[in-house]
Structure formats: C-alpha cells, structure tokens
Amino acid sequence: MYSLKLSNIGKYYSAALLFRDISFELRSGEALAIAGWNGSGKSTLLRIIAGLVRPSTGQVDMFSENEPIPKESRRRFLGMVAPAMALYEELTALENMEFFCKVRGLVHHRRTCLDMMDRVGLSEHSDKICRNYSSGMKQRLKLVQALLHTPPLLLLDEPGCNLDSKGIKIVEDITRQQRQTGMTIIASNEKREVDYADRVINLSERSHGNLAP
Amino acid sequence: MFALTTLVAVSFSIGSFRIGEAEKPFLYAVLLWIILVFSALSGLSRSFVKEEEAGTMDVLRLSARPQAVFLGKLFFNLTLLGALEVIIVPSFILLMEYNIAFPGFFVAMVITAGLGLGAGTTIVAAMIAQASVRGALFSALSFPLLLPLMITAIKGCERAAVGFDTAGWPEVRIALAYVVIMIIMSLFLFPLIWEE
C-alpha cells in the first residue's frame, strides 16, 4: 500500500506566485486530476511531485506501508509522461527501452519490453529509429518508458496529446489498470481525461498570473 | 577538428626553428596544453547540454541515480579526451620536433592531467547545462578550476623534456591528487546540481 501526501505546496518564480496552499493525500487505488487554465501550474505541480522541481513552500512525502520513502529514492516509485520529456531520438524504440531498463537497474528481458510495446501497439515498429516516429508513436513509447518498472505512482501530463482514438483508448486502459494497484495523477483540461479520476483539483482557483479569461 | 587546425597553425607559424633551444621545453609545453585545453573547452561542454537540448534530461533524472549519470558522462568525456590526446600529442611531437628526455614521465603527465581536465570540465558542464549563456559561462567557470592543473601539467611536461630531477614524479602526483579530489567532490556535488 502506497500513499502520497502534499502539504501546503506553493511555487513562486522570482516574486511571482504561480500557486499556493496545495494539499492533498492520495492512496493506492485512487486517481486525481489536476485541471486549470494554461499557465496555472499543472505541469509544474507534477514536476514538483516527481522531484524535478523544488517547491517554494511545503513538502511532498511518499509512503510505502506508512514508512516514508526518502526523496532520493522516490524516482524508483514513480513513472511520468509529459510533453516536454523526450526519449533518445538516435536510438530505436527497443534500444531506448533497453537503456532505461539498464539505468533503472531492472533485470532486462527483451521479451518483456516487446510485450509492453505490443500493449501500446508499437511492437511492429520496435526496430525503428525514434527520430522517424510520429508524435503519436513517441507519446505511446513514453507511456511504455513510464510503465517499465510498474511504478506505484503514475504521473500523466496531458497523456492524450498527439494520440489518435486508439491511442486514447490505450491511455484509458493504462489508467484503469493503474487504479487497481497504484496511484494516478493526471494533469489535463480534457474532460475525458479528467473523468478518469475520482477527484479534481482546479489550479485556476489557486493560482495567479495565469491565462484565465 | 579544432585541435588539428590549431596544431597545424602552430606548427606552421612557429615550427621548430623560431624558438631557441633553451626556451623549447617550456614553450612547447605551454603550446601543447593550450591546444589540449581549448579543444577540451570547445567540445566537452556538450555532454550535458546535449541532454538539455534534446529534452532527455528529465527522463534521465527520473530513471538513473545522479552518481551513475555523472560517472557515465565522465567516462564519455575521458574517452573523447583520450582519443584527442592520442592524435594530438604524437602529432605535436613530430611536427614540432619536441625532444623529450623522460618519455615515461611525459606520458604519465599527459594521462594524469588529461584525467584532471576531463573531471574538471565534466562537473562544470553539468553546472552550465541549464544556463542561457553556456559557452561563455563554461570557459569562465572552467578557468579558475583548471588553472592549477594546467600550471602543474606545463611544469611537468617541461621537466620531462629537460630531464632534470624527475625523482618522485611530483607534478604527476599533484595531478593525480587533483583527479581524486575532483571526482570525489563531484560525486558529492553532482546530485545537488542535477536537481533543478
């Protein structure tokens, strides 16, 4: 059983406040959506949870069986997909997955990687250089990369971006399966994606300087 | 390419004839390390900048231990620098007719100072990867960090060429100490740099 706790998270850039007082708890089996106008800080909040950005105030804690997980080990317990994240374009899809298995210290099985790629409809393209992938195929491959180590916490930033209807169905299946055992946080303004979650935090109500009309 | 161009330019413009025999050991050591350091500065900053530009920095941050990333980049830079030294140093010796009295000491000096150069530039490359004016910052930050090593390397190569009092290989030991200190410090500092 895993849980995530955010306490009074706030983010300032210089003197400008992006958002403040974000607090919530999430447990295995739950899904949370983060919605908000462009510039309200959805991606930044996900990056704070992932440990990629330091919050200006507050703290993020993750627990395994009520035991706190040290910040430096947190990356082992989460997978993330975001538009700004890229994979190695000069490698094939399979080489990318093999590389990430190795750096994560996973026992690498080519068959497992291929099975996961099959799950997102990429097994036939596994030997293609990623540079030649379409943006939708890259998005699917990012999903595989995030799921390689079966993380208890899955962070999805605009997961449906660049995906066709089949791809969107894959995201739906992944979030449904993740909810059986782990936690999911989705940052999106797409109603369909927000509906995957059982709770919604709207950053537009807590942020400043965003592009709200 | 930069290293080869500089080497050819130096050998043609200065050659071995325009410098007096007494000055050769010192001036050749200076010229050799100018070529090596500037070649390193022009190329080694790319190791982390490339990740930042390609957008792979975040996925690497989420996947790998910071120390593993640092050691990987260090190994890459050292390989690159090693290849550069293998091409440049023998070419320099041949083109400039560089006489070295103690080749063993000279080779050890080039290797240890090369390791130091690689270690120093790798940690600076990590620091500047997210900055907007990377090129200027890389040179500005590298200069004070590499200066002691360069002075030691020049002195060591001069001593190897002249052949006086190489007992104890003092410059090699200083450069080796620099390498050890730089790598240990970097392994502690890098996780802090690696986070935003």
CB–CB of B58 and A52 under 8 A? yes
User: A-chain residues within 8 Å CB-CB of B55?
Assistant: 84-86
What is the structure's pLDDT at A210? 45
CB–CB of A85 and B68 under 8 A? no
CB–CB of A100 and B63 under 8 A? yes
Residue B169, Ramachandran bin (φ over 0: left; ψ between -120 and 50: alpha; else beta): left
Q: What SS3 state is found at B26?
A: helix
- Ordered DSSP codes for B108-127: HHHHHHHHHHHHHHHHHHHH
What is the structure's pLDDT at B148? 93
Spatial separation of the C-alpha atoms in residues A48 and A97, rounded to whole Å: 25
What is the structure's pLDDT at A48? 95
CB–CB of B62 and A50 under 8 A? yes
Question: How far from chain centre, in Å, is Cα A29?
Answer: 16
User: A-chain residues within 8 Å CB-CB of B60?
Assistant: 103
The domains found in chain A, sorted by start residue, are 2-205 (3.40.50.300)
What is the structure's pLDDT at B142? 86
What is the structure's pLDDT at B16? 62
Size of interface A-B (CB pairs under 8 A): 45
Contact A24, A201 (CB under 8 A): yes
Could you tell me which residue, B131 or B115, shows the higher pLDDT?
A: B115
What is the structure's pLDDT at A212? 44
Spatial separation of the C-alpha atoms in residues A178 and A9, rounded to whole Å: 25
Measured in angstroms, the CA of A201 and the nearest CA of chain B are apart by: 24
Backbone angles phi, psi at A29, to 5 degrees: 95, -5
The first and second tokens of residue A27, run together, are 């447990």
Query: What CA–CA distances, in Å, run from A168 to A35, A133, A160, A162, A196?
Result: 18, 17, 6, 9, 12
Measured in angstroms, the CA of B162 and the nearest CA of chain A are apart by: 48
pLDDT band at B13 (very low <50, low <70, confident <90, very high): confident
What is the structure's pLDDT at A208? 56
Q: Is pLDDT at B59 greater than 90 in this prediction?
A: yes
Residues in chain B, total: 196
ipTM of the complex: 0.87
Spatial separation of the C-alpha atoms in residues B68 and A75, rounded to whole Å: 14
Instruction: Print the domain residue range for B52.
Output: 2-194
**Percentage above 90 pLDDT, chain A:** 67
Mean pLDDT of B78-105: 90
Spatial separation of the C-alpha atoms in residues A137 and A179, rounded to whole Å: 24
When CB atoms are compared, the residue of B56, B63, B195 closest to A54 is: B195
What is the structure's pLDDT at B190? 92
Mean pLDDT of B29-40: 89
Question: Helical H runs in chain A?
Answer: 42-50, 93-103, 110-119, 135-147, 165-181, 191-194
Of A100-104, B116-120, B162-166, the poorest mean pLDDT is in B162-166
Measured in angstroms, the CA of B62 and the nearest CA of chain A are apart by: 5
CB–CB of B62 and A89 under 8 A? no
Which residues is A6 bridged to in the sheet? A24, A60
What is the structure's pLDDT at B2? 72
Backbone angles phi, psi at B116, to 5 degrees: -65, -40
Q: Which residues of chain A have pLDDT under 50?
A: 209-213
- For A87-105, the pLDDT digits (tens) are 999 999 999 999 999 888 8
Measured in angstroms, the CA of A118 and the nearest CA of chain B are apart by: 22
Backbone angles phi, psi at B13, to 5 degrees: -80, -35
Q: Is pLDDT at B192 greater than 50 in this prediction?
A: yes
- For B128-157, the pLDDT digits (tens) are 887 767 777 888 888 899 999 999 999 999
Domain count, chain B: 1
CB–CB of A87 and B64 under 8 A? no
Q: Over the Cα atoms of chain B, what is R_g? A: 18
